Structure formats: C-alpha cells, structure tokens
C-alpha cells in the first residue's frame, strides 16, 4: 500500500471513529484506542474459532495479535493490509467505495462472520501466493489441495487442483468447492485428509 493511500485510509478511519491496526513486514501497529474497542470483538473472534467464553474471559487483544505496537507511526510506507473493527457492515461497504484502488474484505473467525473490515493491495490474494510458492518450490499445480471457509478463500480453492470447503464455511464457498468436509471443530481437516488419502499408518 502506498504511503499516500495509507495516510488516506488512516485519516478516513480516524474521521469515522473506527479503530484499526496496520500490518507490515516489520510489525503490527495499532490505533490509539484499538485495545479498548477491539477487546470484546476479539473475544467473539476467538469463540468463533472454537474457544469457550471461559477461555476468553480474561483475553486481551495482544493475546491474539502478538507483538501489537501502540504509539507507533501510523503514516507508513511498508503496509500490506489495514484491518479495522466494524461498527456496522456499512463501514465495510463504505470502505470499498472510498478506496476502489484497494481490495476490501471482511473477516471474523468463522465463515462469513464480519467483525473486521480490511483493505489491501489489489491482485494479491491467496491464489497468487500459492502460485508464487509453487514456482519457488518447483512443485506442480496438479498436486495442490486448498482448504477454506470464507469468500476470501474462493480464489485459492479455484486455483488448486482440489478445493475443500470446511463445513462451517459460508454459502458461496460451500457451493463452489470440489469437496465439503466437516466443521473445523469436528475434525474437518482430519476427515478430509483421510478421504483424500493423505494419511498413512506407519
């Protein structure tokens, strides 16, 4: 993300009163009140990923986002993505309109749950990352299997030879997948590995 775009997004988020953190190769940099605003949202996120209410009762934001830096420089030229706590889904829709040069998504820990919005670089997605990795490893596309549970994972499932949707996934990914396995909390990965012949008993 260019420094100009980063500054524009940070100013836009501040103007709307939305708390956020910046993702760069050198760290995670949080807005002034991110800890307080994101605390309960991060608990919901953790529960969506299988934790119990008791397990997250004393959870802090830093327990999920390790190494989060407060009081850091927010106008940066080394950003890959900017994530922000959604006050409403409209915040996400408005971010798409305000920054058409960036790609806007949502995430929340399970399927299509929208707890956070994010803005990132266009044409850089999980499918592209797999393509780069395969080239680096000298591996073949026909040997790839992708697992996902959200709309953002669809390009990855489309790219790989086999696309597996987790049972807890959203409607769109369930409809397009080559295979649907159980929820991640109900041994979905193990069951899919078994069905695909990836497990062998030694």
- Same domain assignment for residues 87 and 182: no
For residue 45, report the phi and psi dihedrals to the nearest 5 degrees.
-55, -50
Q: How far apart are the first and last CA of the chain?
A: 47
51 and 108 both lie in a single domain: yes
Question: Is 97 in the same domain as 142?
Answer: no
Q: Select from 121, 149, 177 the last residue of a domain.
A: 121
Q: Among candidates 180, 115, 172, 114, which has minimal Cα distance to 147?
A: 180
Question: pLDDT tens-digit profile of 89-100?
Answer: 999 999 999 999
In a domain, 200, yes or no: no
Instruction: Summarize pLDDT for 153-164 with one digit per residue, the tens.
Output: 899 999 999 999
Which residue, among 186, 156, 188, has the nearest Cα to 173 in the 3D structure? 156
Sole residue written with tokens 């999920």: 64
pLDDT at 39 over 70: yes
Whether residue 130 is found in the same domain as residue 116:
no
Tell if the pTM clears 0.95, that is, is over it: no
Which domain range does residue 154 map to?
126-195
How does the average pLDDT of the chain come out, rounded? 92
Q: What is the rounded average pLDDT of the residues 11-29?
A: 96
Mean pLDDT over residues 130-134, rounded? Answer: 95
- pLDDT value of residue 109: 66
Is residue 149 in a domain? yes
Residues 6 or more apart whose CB falls under 8 angstroms from that of 160 comprise 130, 141, 144, 145, 146
Least confident of 19-28, 45-54, 72-81: 45-54
The answer to whether residues 161 and 97 belong to one domain is: no
CATH number at residue 93: 3.30.1240.10
């Amino acid at each position: 993300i260019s420094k100009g775009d980063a500054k524009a997004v940070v100013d836009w988020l501040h103007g709307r009163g939305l708390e956020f953190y910046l993702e760069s190769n050198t760290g995670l940099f949080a807005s002034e009140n991110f800890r307080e605003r994101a605390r309960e949202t991060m608990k919901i996120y953790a529960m969506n990923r299988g934790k119990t209410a008791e397990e997250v009762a004393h959870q802090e934001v830093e327990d999920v986002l390790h190494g989060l830096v407060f009081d850091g420089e927010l106008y940066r030229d080394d950003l890959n993505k900017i994530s922000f706590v959604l006050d409403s889904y409209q915040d996400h829709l408005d971010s798409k309109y305000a920054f058409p040069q960036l790609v806007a998504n949502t995430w929340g820990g399970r399927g299509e749950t929208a707890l956070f919005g994010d803005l990132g670089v266009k044409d850089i997605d999980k499918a592209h990352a797999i393509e780069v990795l395969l080239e680096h490893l000298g591996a073949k596309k026909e040997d790839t299997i992708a697992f996902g549970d959200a709309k953002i994972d669809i390009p990855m499932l489309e790219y790989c030879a086999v696309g597996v949707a987790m049972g807890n996934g959203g409607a769109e990914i369930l409809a397009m997948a080559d295979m649907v396995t159980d929820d991640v909390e109900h041994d979905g990965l193990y069951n899919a590995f078994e069905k695909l012949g990836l497990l062998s008993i030694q």
